[in-house]
Amino acid sequence: MLKDVTIGQFYPTGSIIHKLDPRTKILLTTAFVVILFFINNLWGYLAAFLLLGVIILMSKIPVGYILRGIKGLVLIILLTVILNLFMTPGAVIASFGPVNITLEGVKIAVFMALRLIFLVIGTSIMTLTTAPIDLTDGMEWCMKFIPFVRRFAHELAMMMSIALRFIPTLMEETDRIMKAQKARGANFETGNIISRAKNLIPILVPLFISAFRRADELATAMEARCYRGGENRTRMKQLIFARRDVVAFVVMFLMIAGFLATTIINIPLLFPL
Amino acid sequence: MPVEIKNLTHIYSQGSPFEFQALDDINITIEDGSFIGIIGHTGSGKSTLIQHLNGLLNPTSGTVIVDGMDIFAQKKSELIQLRHRIGLVFQYPEHQLFEETVHKDVAFGPKNQGLTEEEVDDRVRNSIKMVGLDYDEVKDKSPFELSGGQMRRVAIAGVLAMEPSVLILDEPTAGLDPRGRDEILAQIKTMHQKNKNTVILVSHSMEDIGKLVEKILVMNEGKIVYFDTPNRVFTEIETLEKIGLAVPEVTYLMRRLKKKYPEIREDIFTVEAAKNEILRVIRG
């Protein structure tokens, strides 16, 4: 049940995509997401599709595993498609009673669906190919360029890595407590909403207690080793840009240039929209 | 209630890079009223095995038959009924306590069984006494103001109160001081002798297991290495050491003594038995 969540999970295969510097992956993913929202023609989406396809192949992660991440978002995507399909004013191509489907509506609905799907795939490739610790290291470096946030970059990154570090632990803990209460005859599967909510108490109370205990122990352990934030702190593992990162950046710049060209020049479309 | 384990295999996260085979074709029968010890290195599959016995984990293949009934072919409600008869005390069971008072927490299991108020009360009183706590002193206390050892006892009482025909304990003494450990184990033994129920005890400690159980199940990498009486298992020192286990220290002592006194017996694993044997040889 809890194992089906793939967003934010790390899938080690040791591929070249995994070996890229986390900063490269963060910056390029951000760039990808931004251009995704500027693309306004099918050529652009085709290019984005090919780009994702090549990256997935290079990352050696099974396609099915990546697509599982979309499953959870099917509802949101459907809702977006339906709303756009019926709510966009323009040339009517079909009407069902009071609601009309317009040509513009179809176009926006298709683009929106593609954008969301590519967005999820693009970002999950980043998290699937980057170990959480590397990801937060990369984010800390990136945050140093944002005014205001810069001062708390280290603290934010530390909080994030601790949170990420404890997700699997807490999931395991939940699983264990749930099993322990099931063994005592607790029933989480049947009953109405109110009785189900009540049945969660035997899980939530022990879970909170253990979360606080863990937090307390971790804080003590950190203080015992003289942790006092980012000031003058050095790293055991330095992030270094390698040649493959340069290659990745070059490829991405070419892609961006290509996208801009198609949006500005307005190459004839595959079919008129 | 005999428990029959047939061709049981369990693979965690099948199809992902984290795939891990925890159980590999396990076949054993646990007789009614027996006292079994399960021992094995960390990750040998002990905890995975016992979670199949009351249907908390579903096997990848194979099955468990309790009282002639295939537990994985049952409906959910039947499975819940079954869990009332097969009590499982997890590792560090004190982490599952949640109620305001000790009494309420211990009563959680019997209440789920649908017993009347009086029956529940009786069960709670008995089981708290069984784990060696003073009922009147602790019943209205919050479980969280008790000491670690007392919390452990309350949590064990919570499972005992369901009066299961098969009681499974996963390392019930982990992290307790020697005295607490001896007391809890002695109480489990007394209860087994009194109620004649089946007890399955998972442990790391050869000393504890050797003293208590009738048969030992030795596991390694998801497979059964031995399922035999302590006498026989503890003579296989070399194999046990190879899989990261050891025999009780007193058995090592007897082995050393054997070099000097060839007539001494080696198959001894309790201090008491060792004392008698040494005296026997010395007094000759």
One-letter amino acid of B112: N
Checking if the pLDDT of B82 tops 80, the result is yes
Contact A182 B158 (CB under 8 A): no
Model pLDDT for residues B141-171, shown as the tens digit of each residue: 999 999 989 999 999 999 999 999 999 999 9
**Which residues in chain B are contacts of A182 at CB distance < 8 A?**
56, 83
Model pLDDT for residues A183-219, shown as the tens digit of each residue: 998 888 777 888 888 888 999 999 999 999 999 999 9
Chain centre to alpha carbon of residue A93: 36
B interface with A, Cβ–Cβ < 8 A, is: 13, 16-17, 51, 54, 56, 76-77, 80, 83-84, 87-88, 90, 93, 95-98, 108-109, 112-113, 144, 158-159, 162
pLDDT attached to residue A103:
82
Q: What is the mean pLDDT of residues A150-178?
A: 87
**Which residues in chain B are contacts of A186 at CB distance < 8 A?**
108, 112
- The answer to ipTM > 0.90 is no
Which of B76, B84, B93 lies closest to A180 in CB terms? B93
Checking if the pLDDT of B121 tops 90, the result is yes
pLDDT attached to residue A273:
45
User: Given strand B3-12, what is the order of strands in its sheet?
Assistant: B20-30, B3-12, B61-66, B69-70
Please tell me the distance from the alpha carbon of residue B60 to that of residue B33, in angstroms, as a whole number.
28
| pLDDT band at residue B14 under the 50/70/90 scheme | confident
In which residue are the tokens 């009086």 written?
B118
| pLDDT band at residue A269 under the 50/70/90 scheme | low
- By the 8 A CB rule, do A88 and A108 touch? yes
| pLDDT band at residue A272 under the 50/70/90 scheme | very low
- Closest chain B CA to residue A66: B16
Any domain includes B263 = yes
pLDDT attached to residue A150:
86
Mean pLDDT of all residues in chain B?
90
- By the 8 A CB rule, do B46 and B170 touch? yes
Any domain includes B228 = no
Beta strands B3-12 and B61-66, pairing class: antiparallel
The SS3 assignment for B173 reads coil
Chain centre to alpha carbon of residue A65: 14
Any domain includes B269 = yes
Any domain includes B282 = yes
pLDDT attached to residue A6:
52
% of chain B residues with pLDDT over 90: 58
Range(s) of the domain holding residue B269: 248-284
Any domain includes B190 = no
Contact B17 A190 (CB under 8 A): no
Mean pLDDT of all residues in chain A?
85
Q: What is the DSSP string of A106-138?
A: HHHHHHHHHHHHHHHHHHHHHHHHS-HHHHHHH
Beta strands B20-30 and A99-102, pairing class: unpaired
Chain centre to alpha carbon of residue B256: 31
Which has the closest alpha carbon to B239: B30, B45, B39, B36?
B39
| pLDDT band at residue B129 under the 50/70/90 scheme | very high
| pLDDT band at residue B93 under the 50/70/90 scheme | very high
Record the pTM. 0.76
Any domain includes B159 = no
Please tell me the distance from the alpha carbon of residue A53 to that of residue A73, in angstroms, as a whole number.
20
pLDDT attached to residue A5:
53
% of chain B residues with pLDDT over 70: 100
**What is the tally of structural domains in chain B?**
1
- B99: CB partners within 8 A, 6+ apart: B105, B108, B143
Any domain includes B172 = no
- By the 8 A CB rule, do A183 and B56 touch? yes
